[in-house]
Chain A
């Protein structure tokens, strides 16, 4: 198995966690209730911590140190899916995104606990445990708000339809997909997507929301190859604002 295929996998996973974590952290001080402020901050801490652990695996494979990788690349060098970089908007969109993203990640890391690449399978065991709480949180809120008032249902329904094409972009395949599956490192995006759809639909069916015909939805892809929305570069500029004053010094 080529190292380049493994690195490609690790980069997209690490970048997903970093950018999603960044967006979650923007809820600090802005949540609809204090409890949600705290919950989104916990998830941001988990998710950014997970990205750090993945960048460390890359560092062990000869890439730069995590701070340099995370704080000095530009948007075309990032491999996160476009879903994660979209602005937070209102709480309904942030919740739907968190539900879709973390459900996918929970399934992904569950699969990765069986990875033939030992450092990754060991890390996946730890991450799987953290993501369990993320999906519990998401499912709880989706079920509550998805069956509460006309406004909450309408808001969630709109956000669900808006987010779905981007969510399908999570599963954009890598140019090394066959190789990475054959080597037993990862079971591949297609399998994750199938399990994800089943799980998402199961939760949505317990609410008053409706799930559209998935075959009619065109996925938004490109994130995995550095083709991003206009929202990523400003996010990265903000993230590196202080670091870039002097990337060689200790802060």
Chain B
């Protein structure tokens, strides 16, 4: 899942002027031809920096995202849901592993990235700073947050950096199962008892604003990312991604008989684009900067896990450790 809502703060493009113009031109023409850039290839410093930032943010979103859903593994109702949810959250942790490896090819170690996550220097998807009060919250994430992530990730998989694209191809294949699982859970809530229906409606009411935030600030107010689009680091505008998501999933939510808490939501038949109440971007900024309902808790859990596991990682580095090859 996840990886949505990448935030590109104001980037300084000055460093591009210092790049070798010949190499830069060659680099850009390779991207234009649809070639992939590989770790040992020349790349502008800004490209490397922004990719690390994006892939790292995506990787963090996977491990932090495993927390709100992970707490429902022990509470999932019945064997079928329990088995599927365990496998799904495990996939997410596996995605983090893949993505940290992809980011490491650009020169930043996993340890450093995790340190930056815990210190608050690196960000992760804002959507995971909201609480999962009920089983229906967990179902909302599995279906719709994953759906949003797929929209982003399918686009990013066509980007220019080889290791990231290959990781995303694998991730998207797994995500398509998550989406089916999540949809299946929600169908059961929609066709179940009144308690089940109310449970999902209530989750939808709470999750809709963070879901709209998920794709990042509106194009009208977001910082220009032309160079990142040209280098195929960023593959679509935030509003395009949001529109694509609404196009695919609003009809499905309505079909199940639920009400989306936005009276202005509707597709304009002339433009073919969705219209909606502008999300509260002040809240988005506030939450992404650390003041959301669960930011502290999420980072604290991650910090505790890191601290409690330190002795294990230290032990593995010890020269006395007997290296054991687990041959099956």
The chain A residues found within 8 Å of chain B, CB to CB, are 22, 25-26, 28-38, 41-42, 44-45, 48-49, 52, 66-67, 70-71, 90-91, 132-133, 136-137, 139-140, 143-145, 147-149, 151-152, 155, 206-207, 235, 238-239, 241-243, 245-246, 249-251
Contacts and interface: CB of A to CB of B under 8 A. Distances in A.
B221 interface: no
B90 A152 contact: no
B321 A147 contact: yes
In order of increasing CB-CB distance, the 10 nearest A-B pairs are A32-B309, A148-B315, A32-B312, A152-B315, A148-B321, A251-B77, A41-B90, A242-B77, A243-B77, A148-B318
A25 B83 contact: no
B322 A238 contact: no
Interface string B288-328: 00000000000001000100111111111010111110111
A108 to B, nearest CB: 20
Contacts of B37: none
B54 to A, nearest CB: 19
Contact of B328 (A32, A44, A136): A136
A33 B313 CA distance: 7
B87 interface: yes
B78 interface: yes
A223 B60 CA distance: 41
Q: Bin the interface of chain B by size.
A: 35 or more
Contacts of A206: 322
Contact of B86 (A31, A35, A48, A238): A48
Given A140-B326, A242-B75, A29 B93 contact: yes
A239 B75 contact: yes
A249 B193 contact: yes
Nearest to A146: B322
A2 to B, nearest CB: 28
Interface stretch (B63-71, B162-170, B236-244, B274-282): B63-71
A235 B313 CA distance: 29
Nearest to B78: A67
A133 B328 contact: yes
Contact of A28 (B77, B83, B93, B328): B93
A36 B310 CA distance: 13
Given A32-B308, A34-B96, A149-B315, A48 B74 contact: no
